[in-house]
Amino acid sequence: VITRRLLTLAMTCAVLAAAVGGSSVQSSVLQHERLRIRNTFKTPEEVVSYYCARDASGFVWSGLLDAERTAFTSWEDAPQVDSFYIAKTYEVHPSEKVGHDVNHAAVQVRYELNGIGDAHGTRSPPPQPDYSVTFDLQKINGAWKIVKPDYAQISPVVVEAKFPYASPSQ
Amino acid sequence: MKKRLLPRQADLALLLSITALICTGGERPSPCSAGMEARYPTHLGGKSSIGRAEVSSLDFTAICVKQFDNDGNSYYQDSDNKIYAITSLTKSAEDAKAQVAAQTARENADSLPPSTARLVATGTPSTNPRAGQHSACSSIGISDADIDTFPAPRKETASRPDNLPTRALASAGSEAPKSAQGASARAASSNSTERPDPILSSNPPSPPGSTLSQVNSNTTSTINLASDLGDIATGNELIEAAKQSRLTIQRSAESDNQTLAEPLRKLSVDELQSALAQAKTKINQDVDVISGASSTSLESSDRARFLNYIRNAQDKVDLALDAIHDDKSRENQLGANSPFTGVFGMKDGNPLAKLASLADIFGSKLPTSAAATTQDSLTNRMVMLSALPPQDRAQVLPHLKLVERLKLTLPDGTKTEMPLLHNGYVLGGGETSVDCSSLVSALLPADVRKGRLTTIDLKSIAVLLRTGKLPKGVNYKPAREKMIKEMAWAFISRDIYHGENPITGDLLLYRTEEPDGHVMIVQSYNPFTKRAEIIEAAQSAGTIRERVVDLSLDPMTWKDRIFIPGLWVLRLKSASTRACTYKEHTRLPASQRKKGGAS
């Protein structure tokens, strides 16, 4: 019972930390991030965490659903790139306000890269092992949405542990 | 990321500029390299020319540069700015035959076309610094004075020497059939078909004016033309096939939507809830089977992609069940007497959207046209099929058009089959033989591109064709490396930075060291503006999109705009067109030729 309580407490702390943006969110869940079509997130980093978690399992690479795209981004189209970065881990940093605009925020995500590849298991070394993306978000109709990078400027980043098809051994 | 890419491109552009400045001695930079002719001055409307040494021939052999006039028509120009011929390319082999026939008729007339004489007389003054120099042009009936005042060739004119057989230099003259004119109109803007001539490069030409020289040059020109026409025909056939196949797929998807929707229309909300619960179980099983199978008839990337599609369907079912539960708990259910029931029962209504909240998930109407082939539509079809009772599913399956019987080997060695809905291409691994056209057609849609040759592969093919080796640092699985090497022969690599401009049907690849690769099919290319009309996949629309891409970031007002880095051009060999048949193709075993013979 004590172990269960401790586990529950730890999970609650992690969720709270992610919600308030007081610390970074680690990609540690093996299950894929469940699809959402309603953006009920309260903070910019929650939106980015959702996007990155979906991306980690290859859902950005395989194609965002329209409902998902319009709920979480202002993109006119979904990214359509056939290859991706392969990351070992990533961190979503707390959001920062952009200027004095309360409806504008920036969230940085830092990745530790293993390579660049495709789902055939082809792989090449990354230009640099560290990679970071700064997402610009705007509050549109009460919901935080990713505005930048645009869909044509962003590359998918899968996490090797969540997307085994990036592995040469598959 | 573009954010990082742009400065990098700027750096590279600066480096290219400095290099070019050194090469050109201070003139506005042009992409030049060792062994390549420097950019020629041009006097035709001040438009930039193409810095590409090219072989052309009339009654003698000369090194020429393919140039373009204001209308995008091509002609040849030597180092003295002498203009030798105008060519325009045709759409298909039939057009080519018609043009050659028309040209032969003109040859029989054996007189200088009046249009040429008119053009010489009304030409604009030249700024050619070499004006007045004697050249071989005088031997073909065009004086140096004429050359200086030779205007920009126009599409409707045929400037050629009257006393030479010019079968190869088919033009879109007034005598050409209307079909040929129409076909050439589009090709005219993209007819930059520089093709190194193996015959001319290996054999020194006969003395100018000799009979043997004429025969050689005519033969060479004919080969060049046939080859060029073959490339253009391949490109046009490819584009038409791609567009046509997408239309067929859209209609098939619409039909499948209706077929699957019909049995679900009569269900009440409660019955739909039960059906969705059943769908959840079925989809969970499918995910377990596909992800757990030791081997499938899907290649690795298709397996990953379809698993994600099925997981999305799984999540949609979960969302739908939650929505029904929430609605029931709030007693907002639309009952049998709801005014909305009629909407959901309409032919184009989505039978899964029996509640407003379900309409948010599945859409209120069945998608039509391009929307029928989006991933949203596919996942809805997966849900509908899984929601059917087993006996209904068995009845419906034979009527579906976009379904593949996926062969699976389970971990215990058991072999099984599973119907897999898709968005319109024949599943199959890289081992499956496909002909060149279907190969490139398969490249077009974004989903298919991910399943077959990726931009990493295409760049590797381009590098392999140029250097004989795969690029360093790219680690392939052995089987995939073998496939890439086998497929490479089907393409010709063109170097856009050295003036080898893309033509209709070429694959235009953008690939830097980052995973931002993109492949497009060229519809036309304007070398003046460095803009290409392309067709590409539009993922959200589920279909192809036509648009114009700018291959230079330089301002349009600059005279010479430098290409962005990372561009690669691959041309499909015309192995399977009606225009010509390559020996490599005919040498293939008959069994492979039946399959298409591309790999």
End-to-end CA distance of chain B: 35
- Exposed e or buried b per residue across B539-576, where buried means at least 16 C-beta atoms within 10 angstroms of its C-beta: bbebbbeeeebebbebeeeeebbbbbbbbbbbbbbbbb
pLDDT (mean) for A73-102: 89
Q: How far apart are CA B25 and CA A93, in angstroms?
A: 51
pLDDT of residue B528: 87
Query: Which residues of chain B are within 8 Å of residue A147 when distances are taken between CB atoms?
Result: none
Q: Which amino acid is at A29?
A: V
Spatial separation of the C-alpha atoms in residues B371 and B349, rounded to whole Å: 14
SS3 assignment, position B501 = coil
- The alpha carbon of residue A1 is apart from the nearest alpha carbon of chain B, in Å, by 30
Question: What's B355's DSSP letter?
Answer: S
Distance of CA B221 to the CA centre of its chain: 27
Tokens 């929601």 sit on residue:
B387
Residues of chain B in contact with residue A170, where contact means CB-CB under 8 angstroms, are: 300
B564-567 LR contacts (CB < 8 Å, sep 24+): B564/B9, B564/B13, B564/B510, B565/B8, B565/B9, B565/B12, B565/B13, B565/B512, B566/B510, B566/B511, B566/B512, B567/B496, B567/B497, B567/B508, B567/B509, B567/B510
Using left for φ > 0, alpha for ψ between -120 and 50, and beta otherwise, residue B227 falls in alpha
Q: What percentage of chain A carries pLDDT values higher than 70?
A: 81
Q: Give Cα B476 distance to the centre of its chain.
A: 25
* Of B305, B375, B474, Cβ closest to residue A122: B474
**Which chain B residue shows the shortest CA-CA distance from A151?**
B1
Phi/psi-derived region of residue B418, left when phi > 0, alpha when psi is between -120 and 50, beta in every other case: beta
Full DSSP string of B161-176: -TTS--TTS----TTS
Q: Which of B345, B350, B354 is nearest to B324 (CA)?
A: B354
| From A58, A77, A85, residue closest to B304, measured CB to CB | A58
pLDDT category, A68, cuts 50, 70, 90? very high
Is B540 within 8 Å of A81 when comparing Cβ atoms?
Answer: no
CA B312 to chain centroid: 30
The predicted pLDDT at position B379 comes to 93
Is residue A119 scored above 90 in pLDDT?
no
Q: Which of A84, A109, A111, A120 best tests the B interface by mutation, with the highest count of B CBs <10 A? A: A120
Residue window 69-128, chain A: list those with CB within 8 Å of chain B.
69, 76-85, 116-125, 127
- The label of the residue with tokens 């192995």 reads B575
Q: What are the tokens at B519?
A: 């492949």
B25-56 core/surface letters (b: 16 or more CB in 10 A; e: else): eeeebbbbeeeebbbbebbbeebbbbbbbbbb
Both structure tokens of B597? 């013979």
Task: Determine the average pLDDT of the residues in A134-142.
Answer: 94
Rounded Cα gap, residues B380 and B25, in angstroms: 63
B43, B83 Cβ separation under 8 angstroms: no
CA pair distance B519, B504, nearest whole angstrom: 14
User: Rounded to an integer, what distance in angstroms lies between the CA atom of residue B315 and that of residue B462?
Assistant: 40
SS (H, E, C) A13-55: HHHHHHHHCCCCEECCCCCCCCCCCCCCCCCHHHHHHHHHHHH
Taking only the tens place, the pLDDT of each residue in A1-45 is 455 565 555 554 444 444 333 333 333 335 899 999 999 999 999
* Predicted TM-score of the model (pTM): 0.64
When CB atoms are compared, the residue of A58, A121, A153 closest to B1 is A153
Instruction: List the single residue in A37, A63, A156 with the smallest CB-CB distance to B539.
Output: A63
Residue recorded with tokens 């004919």: B222
Q: Do B1 and A85 touch (CB under 8 A)?
A: no
Contact B360 A35 (CB under 8 A): no
Averaged confidence pLDDT in chain A:
83
Per-residue pLDDT at A106: 96
Q: Which amino acid is at A163?
A: F
Confidence check: pLDDT of A146 > 70: yes
What are the residues facing B76 on neighbouring strands? B66
Question: What whole-number distance in Å separates Cα of residue A46 and Cα of residue B463?
Answer: 42
Helices (H), B429-557: 436-443, 446-451, 455-467, 478-488
- Cα–Cα distance for residue pair B562/A155, rounded to 1 Å: 25
B377 has a chain A CB within 8 A of its CB = no
CA distance A2 to chain B (A): 32
B341 SS3 class: helix
Cis link prior to A149 (omega < 30° from 0)? yes
Distance CA B576, CA B594 (A): 11
Enumerate the β-bridge partners of residue A105.
A97, A137
Token output for B331:
């007693």
Return d(Cα B388, Cα B259) in angstroms, integer. Answer: 12
Q: Tell if the CB–CB gap between B361 and A37 is shorter than 8 Å.
A: yes
- Mean pLDDT, consecutive 10-residue segments, chain B of 599 residues? 43 45 35 27 29 30 49 53 42 46 49 28 29 28 28 31 27 32 36 36 48 61 61 68 73 91 90 94 90 77 87 95 87 51 62 90 86 87 94 92 86 87 57 38 49 81 92 88 83 90 89 80 89 75 73 86 90 57 43 39
Are the CB atoms for A90 and A160 separated by under 8 Å? no
Name every chain B residue with its beta carbon within 8 A of the beta carbon of A80: 446, 518, 537, 539
Find residues 260-319 of chain B whose CB sits inside 8 Å of chain A: 299-301, 303-305, 308-309, 311-312, 315-316, 318-319
C-beta contacts of A159-164 below 8 A and 24+ residues apart = A159/A27, A159/A56, A159/A57, A159/A86, A159/A87, A159/A88, A159/A89, A159/A90, A160/A86, A160/A87, A160/A88, A160/A114, A161/A30, A162/A27, A162/A29, A162/A30, A162/A32, A162/A56, A162/A57, A162/A58, A163/A56, A163/A57, A163/A58, A163/B304
Torsion over CA: B24, B26, B30, B32 (sign): positive
Token code pair at residue A72: 């979480």
Give Cα separations from B595 to A88, B22, B433, B531, B590 (angstroms).
42, 52, 6, 36, 9
The closest of B253, B228, B575, B573 to B445, measured between CA atoms, is B253
Cβ pair B544, B242 in contact under 8 A: yes
